[in-house]
Amino acid sequence: MINKNESYVRKLIEDGTREDGRGLTDFREISVKTGVIETAEGSAEVKIGNTMVLVGVKMEVKEPYPDSPNEGGFVVDAEFVPLASPDFENGPPGEEAVELARVVDRGIRESHAVDMEKLCIKEKEAAWTVHIDIHVLDHDGNLIDAASIGAMAALLDTKMPKWDADNKKIIRELKGKLPVSDKPVEITVIKIGNKLLVDPTAEEESALDARLTVATLENGELCAMQKGGDGYFTVPEIQQAVELAIDKGKELRKLL
């Protein structure tokens, strides 16, 4: 059953308008700050409208995986701070947090933006693992895009620590930049009725039929896609969503 608020939102969107006055393909105001966590190797704070995420990067040395003995590792985790939304609760990561981490991970991993071979210290023995921790501090919709740009900004801000091979310990003396070769950006397009829009608020997300997150590279090529919601996209709608993602990706990438 659609509640009164959902019905109101759907009516607005079907008329081609939004409660905050934006066009269907307009983002809210975005701000990106880096170097906001002194104890992290890299960090970023991203605000999209009233949505705010904090992302930190920490480096760890581990034995490489057997199927990639000459490569480093990559891990993304997300935490929904209970104060960020009435819907968030204390405890282990819920389904939404797990999905957020996986979608952000996929966009960066499939872009090959981080040169994993350059993270190898000694084949089969030691390699750097990049830990990206996403903390949702305020939730008013479009967490995926906020977390994606935050993760990328934090990676670009990351300075590599030193590895003391003799004593097998990390020296927190920053050495050089993380080997990043591209800037993948994820844009989420949602469908309400027969309309497509970007940067949904939390209220608009509650009324969505389907969601498609598209990750693009600097050259405009696609590197990952993730569909959500119970509804569907037609082929022309998917093509329109991809075009929107490429166009809006260029805009957001300038913030990096």
Query: From CA 5, how far away is CA 185, in angstroms rounded?
Result: 31
Query: Which pTM was predicted?
Result: 0.91
Average pLDDT over residues 206-221: 96
Q: At what angle do helices 95-111 and 143-157 cross, to 10 degrees?
A: 50
What domain count does the chain have?
1
Taking only the tens place, the pLDDT of each residue in 97-156 is: 999 999 999 999 999 999 999 999 999 999 999 999 999 999 999 999 999 999 999 999
- pLDDT at 130 (0 to 100): 96
Quickly state the pLDDT bin for 82 (edges 50, 70, 90): low
Quickly state the pLDDT bin for 92 (edges 50, 70, 90): low
Whether 195 has a pLDDT exceeding 60, the answer reads: yes
Angstrom distances, CA of residue 236 to CA of 83, 92, 193, 196, 223: 39, 39, 15, 11, 20
Output the domain CATH number for residue 87. Answer: 3.30.230.70
- pLDDT at 197 (0 to 100): 97
Taking only the tens place, the pLDDT of each residue in 56-67 is: 999 999 999 999
Domain interval for residue 215: 4-253
